[in-house]
Structure 1
Amino acid sequence: MLTSEELEARRQHFRLLERISLPIWVFDIDKSRVHWANDAALTLWRAQGLPELCSRDMGADMSASVAKRLRQYQSDFAQHGASFSEQWTIYPAGVPVSMNMQLSGIRLTDGRMAILCESRIIEPDRPEALRSVEALLHTDVMITLYDREGVVLYRNPAARESVPNLNMRMAERFQDMEALERMLAMLELHGEATLTLPAHTTRNLRWHEVSVRLCRDAVTGRDAVLMSEVDVTAIKHAQDHSQYLARHDSLTGLPNRSHVMQRFADTLRDMGEGATEAALIYIDLDHFKDINDTLGHAAGDALLVQVAERLRAITRSSDMVARLGGDEFLILMVSHNIREEVDLVRRRLSSTVAQPIHIHGAEVIVTPSVGVSFYPEHGKELDTLLRNADLAMYSAKESGRNALNIFESPMAQRVQQRLELETELRHALTRQEFELYYQPRVDVATGQVRGAEALIRWNHPQRGLVGPDAFIPTCESTGMINALGDWVFEQAARQQVQWAREGLDLKISVNLSPRQFRDPELLNRLARIVTATAAQPARLELELTESMLLGVAPHTHETLDDLRRMGFSISVDDFGTGYSNLAYLNRFPIQVLKVDKTFVQDIEANRPVAELIVSMCRLMQLHIVAEGVETPAQLEWVQAQGIGQYQGYLFAKPLPAAAFVQRVRA
């Protein structure tokens, strides 16, 4: 409550205003309380006296929009000496009273800016008019009335709160003058218009949906423009983000195929009739599937991100680096000497992209196979250039990978041959044109056959017997390897059962491809085949390449453990050609290690490594099989190392089942 001294001081300060018959009061904006009121105002507010009115907390039930408006008043009074005429409704004792208000600033004795309120009561003969005024006060929609020169005539509280300058003209409000002029031209033509524009506000630049309508000023009767603005910044940002995602790769942040199509059209337009040329550089990472299969997809994603960063680093700011999907990237570049620029990229790719990358504790190296097509030499449409660059990239892979090839017409013929091969392979599966050959696995000490490796051959109707190198890569890339792998495993299982009945108790080994190994249905399919053939899993061995075991993916451990529980033995084929080391392999349930033929056939050069492998295998209690033994000297070395078994042309090449039996019995 006010003390008698404070009350008397206020009355003395505002003594001249006491004589005015209209309700007048001073409102302390900072404290949300009436600071002083004349007798007419006390009556209006239904107060028992000035002390009682001053004790009321007006902020307790004040709406947020009114509180903001009062703060804006305070700023305008202090900075601009402004005054306002507005229509207000107050609620003394809960009874609405509508008034025309004259509002101006007044300093209190302590220097703070308060508001001097002069009121004149309005008779409520038009309720809708009063309600419209209240709605205009409380709405978040920014309403502004301009004259035809763009000078402001009125702003509602939301609009006033938004503008950084009290007298900001229409032309100062918006950043994009061309868009504003376009909207005003539509206004003159149709009498109304709507456009989304960037607006200068107290919150910096915001996006507003702006609607304008021709009208008249109710005070002067002159033509005016009524403008409403709604802040749609969040929606605009969401749309921009959605458009960004639609045109960019979410993993690497690089432009995607859709963005490339647009950029290519823009590039052709900008090139005009000059001598400038363009190039599409198509990049595919060699053996990327091995990384996914062994280290897991998270590691593969991390690798792609690092490759994307390296591609950005080796290209010019004017070049476009994009990710087309999977492990495929694209560089679009323009130059007056395009072949020199492509040659620079080739050298940078070789020196940068192929550098080792450390991922999840493993060091991996991926090399790029690159195909290039030139505009307009190899095509004028993007689809044509992409196809030709893709053909050149596949040609680089076929010629040994880690190379850059420029498109040539014969490449299309080779692709056609590959497509024909895919079709033939599908027919071959249906027609059962495949056959298993078996290479004996021989006991070094006794010379007796202890097992066999099942190797597929294709009895082609025209080309005769075709080896696996000619068709297995295609089966792997197209997904046919699962069906073909099931057929191989079933045939080997049936052969094991048949030979056991005939007195040949041999263990048959079957190769698993990377795609087969990562298939979640592998275990179920093998179990069904074992049941259907009545084969003994203990007499069947599954061979994996060491690259398939690279990394610490949980899938690798779980699958190998499950295969062991089913009774299969696990061997690592072609050891020494990939990324692994023996200590690493010790983590897995492996029983057999097959030493690659390069260590056996080139004994002098590889003797220290080969002997180390054999010693480590003994310590780890692994069975060792030497591959590729073709001469007596090689067999002598194998025998000297204490290796248990070998296979190779010295004993026999891979043979059909009947010839295999004859060779074994001989």
Structure 2
Amino acid sequence: MSHTLPPAEAGAVELARRSARYGALDLVLQPVWIYDFDRRRVHWANAAALKMWKAESLRELCRRDMGADMSATVARRLAQYQADFITHAAVFNERWTLYPGGTPVVLNLTYSGHRLDDGRMAMLSQGKPALDELPESTRSVEALLHTAVMITLYDLSGAPLYRNPAARASVRSPGETLRERIVDPASGERFMAALAHEQAANFTLAVHTAQGERWHEMSARHCHDAVTGHDAVLVSEADVSALKHTEAQASFQALHDALTGLPNRAHVMERFAQALADIRDAGMAAALIFIDLDHFKDVNDTLGHAAGDELLVHVARRLRNAIRSSDQVARLGGDEFLILVASKDIVGEVERVRQRISQAIAQPLSLSGTEVRVTPTLGVSLYPRDGLDVETLLRNADLAMYCAKERGRNDMAYYEEGLAVAMRQRTSLEADLRHALERDEFEVFYQPRVCVHTRRVVGAEALLRWRSPERGLVMPDDFIPVCESSGLIMPIGLRVFEQVARQQAEWAARGLDLQISVNLSPRQFSHPGLLDGIRAALRVAAGRPARLEIEITESMLLARDERPREVLDAFEAMGMSIALDDFGTGYSNLAALQRYPIHTVKIDKTFIQGLDTDRPLADMIVSMCRLMRLTVVAEGVETCDQLDWIAGRAIDQYQGFLCARALPAAAFEARFIDEPLAA
């Protein structure tokens, strides 16, 4: 039968056993005690230690929780001791300030490892009073213990002589040398050379630590070892990894586009210059390829800016994948990108890059559930033929890109001498357009819409012309793109609408009561002031909304938000009808028409003028429109055969050269008022 002693008796027996083991240490006049790391308590102490700790008895001292008010710095230092005692027979001689009963006691302590009966590692502490220490010296020792700055004393070979707790916690092993600590050997040698030459050195270096590679601000100076008097090196280190990361991040952000991660314009101007110098030294030629996405504004205006940003991210990724590792790609802003390529056969390489870029970008992309395709227009300037610096090459590539745009987009053009003149002409055109708006030089022409069954004019489409005193009659394809890019399209569009509303009312009063349609561009449709502007124009012109129709294209219905529906509902609430122009060539489908207040569908002329094999789609469109009770208008009817074809499909109306081209208001009135159209 076993017998268990009460806790008090068991404790007394244990203390008696310890005293029997360590009793000889009571003869030592200096304080000696054994510290249990794991339990944070004194395991045993001699009489001098009991006196130093101001303990009533060994039992009372062993019951004290030494970790209750222990600082984090002291706790880390004790953990370092325990680890070093376990890994190797370490002995430490240090000056500590202890606080028995809250009173500071300065001791010169010798610490060594000691195994307890159960095999755990403890610490044998032997102290000698440091009675001659000045207060400043005591405080400096305390500061060295608690500071986060890593302080290490090395001999001239780089071997460590002393590390404060912060330094000891940082190294991978206690014996790590100064050269082993520095990641880059070449940087380490420069550090040591500077120290030898100047007697002091200050470097920011990547160092090995117990936590992995870090960036440290390392300051070193020559000194003497206070123990041996030999020459030594005192090194202090501060961890600046966070600052280094912030600096690197700021530098990256300053030179890279936040959306795509590609180098930005600042990067191009700074780094491409050096790249050109390297290309010149290598005896090669180079090309700057300026890339602009066709109709990118339509994506922004219809699907929203979030979808536009998503498109740019995908394009950036495709461009990176389409070029060689030696080429460089950047985003200049908006939908403009730049690629720098080098080769001895630069023209051949540009053609290869063009093919890869065109194929990569032309792949369909799903944005917010809508399939979108975009194409690139490219402008190219060659180095050194078209310029010797980045700024000149960039300007010339930009001019070449505009030339390619004017040729029809989805194209590539090389810079030529005359392009600068063309750009000046475009700038002059924009200035003239602003003057034209001020001088009221814009005129509306009207193309008749004819009833297929009665062959009478029932409506008209308003088409803009510019009657310039200097340029003559200018067609819209020659000036509308500039109006769009310059922002003039909004004031011009509202003036056109007002003119059309007034003309419709005048004709109706004279017996020609036609429904007249007015086109809206995507830029106008997305403008926040559109509805207020239309309402104001109707008031000024005393227009009849029921006889006015707004024409939009399919792409304007692609936005994922509710704005298209809200705008169209507002037009319908004003009394106007809505026509969908060029149907069948864009992204939408017939089912989508049910979401919007569409009254008329205009079938694109490509279906009317195409081969018979291309017309089944037109048949399907007409059938679906009939089911939805929509008016169907055929565009581009130029021959009697085409008219017979649409008549056979019961299409409601048509317009095209077979009836008449667009005419000025006076000519339109003279030809069609109260007159049937000849068959």
Tell me which interval the TM-score lies in, with the shorter structure as reference length.
over 0.9
Q: Is the 8 A contact 2:23 2:46 kept in 1?
A: no
- The superposition leaves residues 119-145 of structure 1 with CA deviations (integer Å, 9 ceiling, x where unpaired) of 122348733332222222111111223
1:142 maps to 150
Q: Which amino acid aligns with 2:598?
A: I
Pick closer, same or farther for the CA change 1:656–1:343 going to 2, 3 Å.
closer
Query: Helix, strand or coil for the counterpart of 2:432?
Result: helix
1:516 maps to 524
Q: After superposition, where does 1:136-285 map in structure 2 within 5 Å?
A: 136-184=144-192, 187=195, 192-285=200-293
Query: Helix, strand or coil for the counterpart of 1:143?
Result: strand
Return the alpha-carbon distance in structure 1 between the equivalents of residues 562 and 22 of structure 2.
83
Return the alpha-carbon distance in structure 2 between the equivalents of residues 274 and 447 of structure 1.
73
Pick closer, same or farther for the CA change 1:434–1:140 going to 2, 3 Å.
same
- The superposition leaves residues 376-418 of structure 1 with CA deviations (integer Å, 9 ceiling, x where unpaired) of 1221111121222222222333223323333222333322322
Return the alpha-carbon distance in structure 1 between the equivalents of residues 359 and 276 of structure 2.
31
Q: Is the 8 A contact 2:464 2:476 kept in 1?
A: yes
Shift of 1:647: 2.4
1:464 maps to 472
Moved more, 143-152 or 46-55: 143-152
Q: After superposition, where does 1:227-626 map in structure 2 within 5 Å?
A: 227-550=235-558, 552-602=560-610, 604-626=612-634
Return the alpha-carbon distance in structure 2 between the equivalents of residues 76 and 489 of structure 1.
88
2:107 maps to 99
Q: Is the 8 A contact 1:594 1:627 kept in 2?
A: yes
2:140 maps to 132
Pick closer, same or farther for the CA change 1:214–1:499 going to 2, 3 Å.
farther
Return the alpha-carbon distance in structure 1 between the equivalents of residues 183 and 234 of structure 2.
19
Query: Helix, strand or coil for the counterpart of 1:22?
Result: coil
Q: Which amino acid aligns with 1:174?
A: I
Q: Is the 8 A contact 2:206 2:214 kept in 1?
A: yes
Shift of 1:502: 4.3
Pick closer, same or farther for the CA change 1:532–1:214 going to 2, 3 Å.
farther
1:30 maps to 38
Return the alpha-carbon distance in structure 2 between the equivalents of residues 451 and 267 of structure 1.
62
Pick closer, same or farther for the CA change 1:166–1:516 going to 2, 3 Å.
same
Indicate which of 54, 68, 72 corresponds to 2:62: 54
Query: Helix, strand or coil for the counterpart of 1:14?
Result: helix
Indicate which of 101, 115, 120 corresponds to 1:112: 120
Return the alpha-carbon distance in structure 2 between the equivalents of residues 534 and 127 of structure 1.
97
Indicate which of 3, 20, 27 corresponds to 1:19: 27
Indicate which of 643, 650, 670 corresponds to 1:642: 650
- The superposition leaves residues 21-59 of structure 1 with CA deviations (integer Å, 9 ceiling, x where unpaired) of 111111111111111111111111111211221111111
Return the alpha-carbon distance in structure 2 between the equivalents of residues 136 and 94 of structure 1.
21
Query: Helix, strand or coil for the counterpart of 2:615?
Result: helix
Pick closer, same or farther for the CA change 1:565–1:217 going to 2, 3 Å.
farther
- The superposition leaves residues 153-174 of structure 1 with CA deviations (integer Å, 9 ceiling, x where unpaired) of 3221111111112132222221
Q: Which amino acid aligns with 1:87?
A: R
Q: Which amino acid aligns with 1:249?
A: D
- The superposition leaves residues 186-237 of structure 1 with CA deviations (integer Å, 9 ceiling, x where unpaired) of 5566654433211111111101122234444433445543322111111211
Q: Is the 8 A contact 2:291 2:401 kept in 1?
A: yes
Return the alpha-carbon distance in structure 2 between the equivalents of residues 270 and 607 of structure 1.
58
Unpaired stretches in structure 2, ≥5 consecutive residues: 1-7
Query: How does the TM-score come out when normalised to structure 2?
Result: 0.92
Does 1:628 find its partner at 2:636?
A: yes
Return the alpha-carbon distance in structure 1 between the equivalents of residues 473 and 258 of structure 2.
47
Return the alpha-carbon distance in structure 2 between the equivalents of residues 571 and 207 of structure 1.
66
Q: Which amino acid aligns with 1:55?
A: R
Indicate which of 71, 87, 92 corresponds to 2:95: 87
Shift of 1:339: 2.7
Shift of 1:147: 3.8
Pick closer, same or farther for the CA change 1:374–1:595 going to 2, 3 Å.
same
Identity score, percent: 57
Pick closer, same or farther for the CA change 1:266–1:93 going to 2, 3 Å.
same
Q: Which amino acid aligns with 2:127?
A: S
Q: Is the 8 A contact 1:98 1:124 kept in 2?
A: no
Return the alpha-carbon distance in structure 2 between the equivalents of residues 297 and 633 of structure 1.
45
Return the alpha-carbon distance in structure 2 between the equivalents of residues 497 and 131 of structure 1.
97
Query: How does the TM-score come out when normalised to structure 1?
Result: 0.94
Query: Helix, strand or coil for the counterpart of 1:523?
Result: helix
Pick closer, same or farther for the CA change 1:319–1:85 going to 2, 3 Å.
same
Return the alpha-carbon distance in structure 1 between the equivalents of residues 98 and 134 of structure 2.
17
Aligned-CA RMSD value: 2.4
Does 1:41 find its partner at 2:41?
A: no
Moved more, 64-73 or 639-648: 639-648
- The superposition leaves residues 434-463 of structure 1 with CA deviations (integer Å, 9 ceiling, x where unpaired) of 111122323333344333222111011122
